Structure 1
Amino acid sequence: MKAQIFRGVNNLSYEEIPVPTLEADEVLVQVRVVGLCQSDIKKIRYPLYEPPRIFGHETAGIITAVGDKVKKWEVGQRVAVMHHIPCMRCAYCMNDNFSMCDTYKNIVTTAGFTPSGGGFAEYVKVPGHIVENGGLIPIPDDITFEEASFVEPTNCCLKAVKKAEIAPGKTVLITGAGPIGLMFIMLVKYFGGKAISTDLLPSRIQKAMEVGAEAAMDARDRNLTTKIQELTNGLGVDVTLLAVPSEKAFFQALDCTRKGGKILFFAEFPDELEIPINPNILYRREIDLMGSYSSSYRLQSLAADIVFNRRIDVKALISNSYSLENLSAAVEQAVTPSEDTYKILIYP
């Protein structure tokens, strides 16, 4: 089969490799479409992992083989693939910190080499633990593979929305109107909140309004804080979701979030970045700082429901499609987006 192998920083190699062999409790999925995620891009462009690896984890496809002990799944079924599932028994899982679980981190879908997602290949192997514990999600007949590939990123965004306690009547500032920021706008609206968006690109500011933002502004606007105060009766927003790894965006969030509000870090910042902050700002204004990383097993059914029942329009987020052979070009477009670049899908 063909696969894009990470051979080093900014070095993807389109190669022929063996189709993964199955153990008795495993399933083989033919990848029909896989989303290109910002986390994939970071892994490709920075020295975070030792090569060789095959990345890609927002996967949807067709089961083409099952191990002898697999009873619940059959060849030909269309499935969305969750690339990791927690153990549900460790101290982290017992506190709903599923993404900190060692099993969640280490038992991962693979197309070969060190398991790393494996979606950037023609076939991906799903380990028995994931097969048995809800990591395969049947795709309804009326849902496309493209839509189904959004179940995993929807879960990740849902986790942040739930953690920030976004509910009807809440006003939420979302920094960045890329594919994740736009999904946040849709989810905030779905849960009854009001979204305010910022970005640097005029097209993305317009797109934010199209998908449901109450207001969208240029992040460089010197009057941004004043305008947000005017939109919130002088209070500031209840919650800010940082969907871009920007120090300036964080300080804007401090200025724009009300006393007693929340600021949630969703985008991953560079490791070398340190942000100085006077702790009395948090103390006196009772600002909650929090982070949200990866997905939540507890929200998996809700994520599937939202995508499969089209409660948000994930198709509106798709801007480009690339063959697997041209993955490097897709990464380059994502890093230097054009006016109309949003979610990029890859087709093995």
Structure 2
Amino acid sequence: MKVARFYAPGDIRIEDMPEPTAGPGELKLRVRNTSTCGTDLKIFRHGHHHIDPPRVIGHEIAGEVVEVGSEVNGWAAGDRVQVIAAIPCGECPECLRGWMTICPNQLSMGYHFEGGFAEYMIVPANVLKVDGVNRIPDGVSYAEASVAEPLACVLNGQELARVGDGDTVVVVGAGPIGCLHVRLARARGAENVHLVELNRGRLDMAAELVKPDAAICAAEVDPIQAVLDLTGGRGADVVITASAAGKTQEDALKMVARRGRISFFGGLPKDNPIIACDSNLVHYRELTIVGANGSSPDHNKKALELIATGAVPVADLITHHLPLEKVLEAIDVVAGGTAIKVTIEPVAG
């Protein structure tokens, strides 16, 4: 079978591997769609400390069950499934409290286990143990189902930031995650949703699809003043930083309302994670700052439901469909910012 394997920064190879066989506690999938994300680009450029190369990467996975391990119940060949990316252990104090997104023993598809940039793959027993394989609802395509994983992460972030009825929400970053945040905020009852982005072309492309109440180009205007002007000087109830830039987190403190909530959704580069935080703003305005780390198996289930009901449409956000042989082209497209979501289709159908 064909796979895309990471060997070293700048070195991803399309090559042949033996087709795997499901062990007793495993499932074997024919991979239909594995969508790309900014993390795949980071792995290509810099590697990752959890990846011991060579490794088949790709973690936004949807496919068809073709083989069921002897100890697995409830699944059969032909089932259409979506697979979680982050795998909690299910046994530590955090998991037992329901905080699976911050499991200290977390493993990941495409990092610790072979991922979805392959014609076939194994779903390990670790995933099945935490109920991390989800049936794709009727009417939801494999491509749409592959977007459930990033949507699950977005859902986790908005739950933690308590996005809800009547809120004015500012999303900073107009990539695929930012677009999902705009749509989910509306689905959760936000009254106004504004989108901030530095790149004019990327902003226009995203705004055309998700239609925020205001599209603010941070290269052309002061985004803080723009948000204050839009809110009568009050600021936003929620600011979500869906970008990997410290300045966006610093700006969030100045564009949020009193008693506002800030989601530091996008992680910062490991070599530059420190920001300037005016503690008095947090203190006197009674601000809440929350992090957001991935998603739980339950978030993935909820994300599929949001897609299936049409509450959060995703099909139009998938701007590029490419075969497995063009994984490097897909990564280039992601790097160039000329797409919203790029999906790889290892096996057509």
- Worse-matched range after superposition: 193-202 or 166-175: 193-202
Q: Would you say the 8 A contact 1:237–1:256 is kept in 2? A: yes
Q: Would you say the 8 A contact 1:109–1:124 is kept in 2? A: no
Task: Confirm whether residue 195 of structure 1 aligns to residue 205 of structure 2.
Answer: no
Q: Which residue of 2 aligns with 1:227?
A: 226
Task: Confirm whether residue 156 of structure 1 aligns to residue 153 of structure 2.
Answer: yes
Q: Which residue of 1 aligns with 2:341?
A: 343
Name the amino acid aligned to 1:101.
C
Moved over 6 A (4+): none
Pairwise CA distance, 1:251 = 2.5
**TM-score when scaled to structure 2?**
0.92
Task: Confirm whether residue 303 of structure 1 aligns to residue 303 of structure 2.
Answer: yes
Name the amino acid aligned to 1:64.
V
1:97-119 CA-partner distances (Å, limit 9, x unpaired): 2122245x23x446xxx634511
Pairwise CA distance, 1:285 = 2.5
Name the amino acid aligned to 2:13.
S
Q: Would you say the 8 A contact 1:85–1:134 is kept in 2? A: no
Gaps spanning 5+ residues in structure 2: where? Answer: none
Residue 52 (structure 1) aligned to one of 48, 51, 54: 54
1:58-90 CA-partner distances (Å, limit 9, x unpaired): 111111111112221111111111234434332
Give the distance between the partners of 1:282 and 1:333, measured in 2 at CA: 39
Give the distance between the partners of 1:69 and 1:116, measured in 2 at CA: 20
Q: Would you say the 8 A contact 2:134–2:301 is kept in 1? A: no
Name the amino acid aligned to 1:26.
E
Q: Which residue of 2 aligns with 1:72?
A: 74
Task: Confirm whether residue 97 of structure 1 aligns to residue 99 of structure 2.
Answer: yes
Give the distance between the partners of 1:305 and 1:314, measured in 2 at CA: 12
Closer, same or farther: CA 332–238 of 1 in aligned 2, 3 Å:
same
SS at the partner of 1:290? strand
Q: Residues 76-225 of structure 1 correspond to what in structure 2 (within 5 A)? A: 76-103=78-105, 105-106=106-107, 108-109=108-109, 115-116=112-113, 118-193=115-190, 194-206=192-204, 207-208=206-207, 210-225=209-224
Q: Would you say the 8 A contact 1:92–1:98 is kept in 2? A: yes
SS at the partner of 2:56? coil
**TM-score when scaled to structure 1?**
0.92
Give the distance between the partners of 1:282 and 1:181, measured in 2 at CA: 24
Name the amino acid aligned to 2:237.
D
Give the distance between the partners of 1:212 and 1:280, measured in 2 at CA: 35
Count of aligned residue pairs for this structure pair: 341
Give the distance between the partners of 2:254 and 2:245, measured in 1 at CA: 15
1:271-302 CA-partner distances (Å, limit 9, x unpaired): 11122333223222222222101102343332
Give the distance between the partners of 1:116 and 1:132, measured in 2 at CA: 15
Closer, same or farther: CA 96–219 of 1 in aligned 2, 3 Å:
farther
- Worse-matched range after superposition: 212-221 or 233-242: 212-221
Name the amino acid aligned to 1:225.
I
Q: Which residue of 2 aligns with 1:266?
A: 265
Q: Would you say the 8 A contact 2:9–2:44 is kept in 1? A: yes
Q: Would you say the 8 A contact 1:318–1:345 is kept in 2? A: yes
Q: Which residue of 2 aligns with 1:333?
A: 333
Q: Which has the higher contact order (CA 8 A, sep 6+)?
A: 2
* Aligned CA-pair RMSD: 1.9
Q: Would you say the 8 A contact 2:172–2:195 is kept in 1? A: yes
Closer, same or farther: CA 181–80 of 1 in aligned 2, 3 Å:
same
SS at the partner of 1:129? helix
Give the distance between the partners of 1:93 and 1:36, measured in 2 at CA: 28
Gaps spanning 5+ residues in structure 1: where? Answer: none
Q: Which residue of 1 aligns with 2:281?
A: 281
Give the distance between the partners of 2:299 and 2:47, measured in 1 at CA: 31
Q: Would you say the 8 A contact 2:114–2:122 is kept in 1? A: no
Name the amino acid aligned to 1:177.
A
Pairwise CA distance, 1:159 = 0.3
Give the distance between the partners of 1:23 and 1:264, measured in 2 at CA: 41
Q: Which residue of 2 aligns with 1:249?
A: 248
Task: Confirm whether residue 27 of structure 1 aligns to residue 54 of structure 2.
Answer: no
Pairwise CA distance, 1:45 = 1.2
- Worse-matched range after superposition: 263-272 or 296-305: 296-305
Give the distance between the partners of 1:144 and 1:222, measured in 2 at CA: 40
Give the distance between the partners of 1:332 and 1:205, measured in 2 at CA: 19
Closer, same or farther: CA 31–288 of 1 in aligned 2, 3 Å:
same
Give the distance between the partners of 2:284 and 2:241, measured in 1 at CA: 22
Sequence identity percentage: 31
Name the amino acid aligned to 2:219.
R
